[in-house]
Chain A
């Protein structure tokens, strides 16, 4: 069932709303709340959640007789609706970042009102998941991000079956994010970071879609899911395990490496070319052996730009 979380007016166009899917048995609060598109340019998450809504609606309609949705799921494929349509990360009118407007307010700025409506709809769910991508310049392996997690969240994070779980402290810098506001409430909260902004990466999306379905199966919200045993191990990485390579020279960076692959220390991962005369000015190599968890995709490098990140295993 489609519901509007919030209906608002606009200066000269028609009013707009933020629609969500509510699927499964009626309940005072959803068991699972899934959110994407807080940033309008993070299309992977919007695509994954819209496809998941289609799938769960078909489950409800009886298209998969072996599956049964036994608890309510709330899905908001895109919070920044206008940002998706206009391809902007932020709220297009005042360029504010909706994920810096939480917990929001009913009386404040437009984006604070949006944040408030999203928080109200999601905060009482047992499991809350916010899907992001990296920026439009960078690609991340599909991963679970934990911010100052509880023991239960650390355990539950494995249920997605995604290849990497990254743990970070809950810095005060995140105070105005949705994740931070969620953590005030009982229940468990997760951020998924999937691929690169500004595009749909089918392989990452399919993998994350399967992860979401597996997750819903394992937590008992979707009954009848046949979970295939992934042959790839799940690795947990803390911040000290991350080794970043920054550009010592400006230029054009080119790499055909894929994220999510294991690399050797010293392995060549790409080259920086002089953008004017075309000569190779630097070979970029893996700083340590580990998982290539993120790599730059926009070729033009300023001096100092982040080129890649390798996470060392087993620290």
Chain B
């Protein structure tokens, strides 16, 4: 007797485009038992690809589970790997035509224009989940270590979950009203826990980061009862540091030019250490040295070399008692 398929790719949102075509946005659903529902969202920004690969790796793991031990999927898993379908298909961060950042359109409204309508559809689909993970990949300018960013408003609910996600950093942000229109804030505000994972760099994938997050997500799912306790999982070895407004130092460019790093990303640095230089393609001398303001860890490093005066080049987290 064959096992009924638990995996299904289905369309959860459609909208007509001006000339004939119909835009469809799909999700992959793994239906297991009556346990909790969890979801992973990626590709809200069309230039962030790391989350797409995480979804692929999760799907591969769940495929294998389906083959080897389908009954151990106790809950219901939904993967939304490519929410900004048109943006991803056209190398555009925002929603093409609408020139809109989809992650500033939540909670949306069902009868409005595409960004709001899509946001509302996603809210409906995700509400009630035991956990949603929204995966971002920084942008094309900055490389980030695997981390989760949490609005302090939801700290007590989310930090305990985030600690088990196999990430390197938990960054607690002060409550910023400007972020109220994100999917995470909208879900958390209506009682559906949502973690924002941030890692890698735009327009690239970093497979080791993706596998690190996959292991963390599976571990958290097991903790929530989505996966049976006896399912063997990939090893998790990462314990997060805790960053907040008090220990994160921003290094913004003092002049415009090309930023050339001299230190590797995600390494210990000491106060005064040279992290990179700003040079000009027209001149042989160095325009500006970029030095660490503190003893700490270099957790953000600029990937895209050209900088304007003010462009962010690096973030260093000071080593303080805040670390765990």
Interface positions of A (Cβ within 8 A of B): 8-12, 89, 93-95, 100, 107-113, 135, 172-173, 175-176, 246, 249-252, 275-276, 300-306
CB of A9 within 8 A of CB of B19, answer no
> Of all chain A residues, which has the CB nearest B312?
A109
CB of A302 within 8 A of CB of B15, answer yes
Q: In angstroms, how far is the closest chain A Cβ from the Cβ of B255?
A: 5
CB of B18 within 8 A of CB of A11, answer no
CB of A107 within 8 A of CB of B113, answer no
Partner of B308 from the list A8, A107, A249, A305 (CB cut-off 8 Å) is A8
**Interface-side segment among B52-60, B62-70, B174-182, B214-222:** B174-182
Separation of A175 and B179 alpha carbons in the complex (Å)? 10
> Of all chain B residues, which has the CB nearest A251?
B18
Query: Is B16 interfacial (CB-CB < 8 Å)?
Result: yes
Q: A8-B308, A93-B311, A173-B178 are in contact. List 19 more A-B contacts (CB 8 A).
A: A11-B256, A11-B307, A93-B308, A94-B308, A95-B93, A108-B252, A110-B308, A173-B181, A249-B16, A250-B15, A275-B18, A275-B20, A276-B20, A302-B16, A302-B113, A303-B15, A303-B17, A304-B113, A304-B116
Label chain B's interface by main secondary structure. loop
Q: In angstroms, how far is the closest chain A Cβ from the Cβ of B151?
A: 13
Separation of A111 and B308 alpha carbons in the complex (Å)? 10
> Of all chain A residues, which has the CB nearest B181?
A173
CB of B177 within 8 A of CB of A11, answer no
Query: Is B7 interfacial (CB-CB < 8 Å)?
Result: no
Per-residue contact bits, chain B 179-220, to A (CB 8 Å; 1 contact, 0 not) = 011000000000000000000000000000000000000000
Top 10 A-B pairs, shortest CB-CB distance: A250-B16, A110-B310, A300-B18, A172-B177, A9-B256, A303-B16, A275-B19, A110-B308, A11-B306, A175-B177
Residues of B256-298 at the interface with A, using a CB-CB cut-off of 8 Å, are: 256-258, 280-282
Query: Is B141 interfacial (CB-CB < 8 Å)?
Result: yes
> Of all chain B residues, which has the CB nearest A106?
B310
Per-residue contact bits, chain B 296-321, to A (CB 8 Å; 1 contact, 0 not) = 00000000001111111000000000
Separation of A218 and B192 alpha carbons in the complex (Å)? 54
CB of B309 within 8 A of CB of A9, answer yes
> Of all chain B residues, which has the CB nearest A6?
B309
CB of B111 within 8 A of CB of A246, answer yes
Separation of A303 and B13 alpha carbons in the complex (Å)? 12
Q: In angstroms, how far is the closest chain B Cβ from the Cβ of A98?
A: 12
Separation of A252 and B116 alpha carbons in the complex (Å)? 21
Would A302 and B114 be within 8 Å (CB), given that A11-B258, A249-B16, A250-B16 are in contact?
Answer: yes
Point out which of B18, B94, B281 has the most chain A C-beta atoms below 10 A from its C-beta: B18
CB of B309 within 8 A of CB of A8, answer yes
* Chain A residues in 8 Å Cβ range of B255: 9
Point out which of B20, B280, B309 has the most chain A C-beta atoms below 10 A from its C-beta: B309
Partner of B180 from the list A173, A249, A251, A303 (CB cut-off 8 Å) is A173
Separation of A76 and B256 alpha carbons in the complex (Å)? 24
Residues of B217-271 at the interface with A, using a CB-CB cut-off of 8 Å, are: 250, 252, 255-258
Partner of A302 from the list B18, B177, B250, B307 (CB cut-off 8 Å) is B18
Q: What are 28 A-to-B residue pairs whose CB atoms are below 8 Å? A: A9-B256, A11-B308, A93-B311, A94-B311, A95-B93, A108-B252, A109-B252, A109-B312, A110-B308, A113-B310, A135-B99, A172-B180, A173-B177, A173-B180, A173-B181, A246-B112, A275-B18, A300-B19, A301-B18, A302-B97, A302-B114, A303-B15, A303-B16, A303-B17, A303-B114, A304-B112, A306-B112, A306-B113
Query: Is B117 interfacial (CB-CB < 8 Å)?
Result: yes
Separation of A8 and B257 alpha carbons in the complex (Å)? 12
Per-residue contact bits, chain B 10-26, to A (CB 8 Å; 1 contact, 0 not) = 00000111111000000
Would A107 and B252 be within 8 Å (CB), given that A11-B307, A11-B308, A302-B113 are in contact?
Answer: yes
> Of all chain B residues, which has the CB nearest A12?
B281
Q: In angstroms, how far is the closest chain B Cβ from the Cβ of A296?
A: 11
Partner of A12 from the list B18, B116, B282, B312 (CB cut-off 8 Å) is B282
* Chain A residues in 8 Å Cβ range of B116: 304
Would A10 and B308 be within 8 Å (CB), given that A303-B16, A304-B117 are in contact?
Answer: yes
Q: In angstroms, how far is the closest chain B Cβ from the Cβ of A302?
A: 5
CB of B178 within 8 A of CB of A100, answer yes
> Of all chain B residues, which has the CB nearest A93?
B308
> Of all chain A residues, which has the CB nearest B94?
A95
Would A11 and B257 be within 8 Å (CB), given that A246-B111, A250-B17, A275-B20 are in contact?
Answer: yes
Separation of A8 and B281 alpha carbons in the complex (Å)? 18
